[in-house]
Structure 1
């Protein structure tokens, strides 16, 4: 029963927020199989979002070797005492993408690309 579920998991929630929680529960129920499948993988339990393959949303990423090349490049510059700017990182990523045969439009090396790359490799600029 939905009222029992809301009372158990959201006892202090009332009004519009209660209605939102009710809708969320129904959404989670409809996605139960997808959530269960994602939680079985090593990384799946850490996902905040998942994107189905073939939905028209594509992301261009550098190869693992290209990513390592950027990390090595940053480490070398820092060892020499040279600061690395966001612009420098963007230019390096675009150069590596070109070297990997990606078109100019395939990889933007945008702010979100830089942010996720730095976070993934635990680097700060």
Structure 2
């Protein structure tokens, strides 16, 4: 019987703290954590305004620094906390999926040369009408004809 009581007593504690002490701990530092989270949101918005992509690691490290500055004890900036933080503040961490190409310095000259080449082909082949090769027109024509 005594083993049941001891196991029941140990199951009500979490890491040596009772549930009541744990909730007190959360309430005690809720204000500091709220201020720290606001500071993190401001930090994220500033970096995004400068075009700096923010990774999960950057958020984790900055959250630890801000929590230490606001004297929030035992704050770990876990993945689950980050997930809830992003949901609370309507944030997302998006990865770049494409990198832009660098335009050549003489882009205007290349475009002008291509335009002259097309005009010369039109004249050489006796073409009277030039159509755009945009696929959108084809899709619309298909829709009109078959729907």
Task: Tell me the TM-score normalised to structure 2 length.
Answer: 0.43
CA displacement, residues 54-86 of structure 1 (integer Å, 9 cap, x when unaligned)? 175765765222111100110010010000011
User: Which structure has the larger Rg?
Assistant: 2
User: Once the 2 structures are TM-superposed, how far is the Cα of residue 100 of structure 1 from its aligned partner?
Assistant: 1.2
In the alignment, is residue 112 of structure 1 matched against residue 77 of structure 2?
A: no
Q: Structure 1 unaligned runs (5+)? A: 1-52
Question: What is the CA RMSD across the aligned residues, in angstroms?
Answer: 2.1
Q: Which residue of 2 aligns with 1:64?
A: 34
More helix by share: 2
- Of residues 69-78 and 59-68 in structure 1, the stretch that sits farther from structure 2 once superposed is 59-68
List 4+ stretches of structure 1 deviating above 3 A: 55-62
Task: Tell me the TM-score normalised to structure 1 length.
Answer: 0.50
Matches within 5 A, 1:85-124: 85-103=55-73, 106-124=74-92
Matches within 5 A, 1:20-31: none
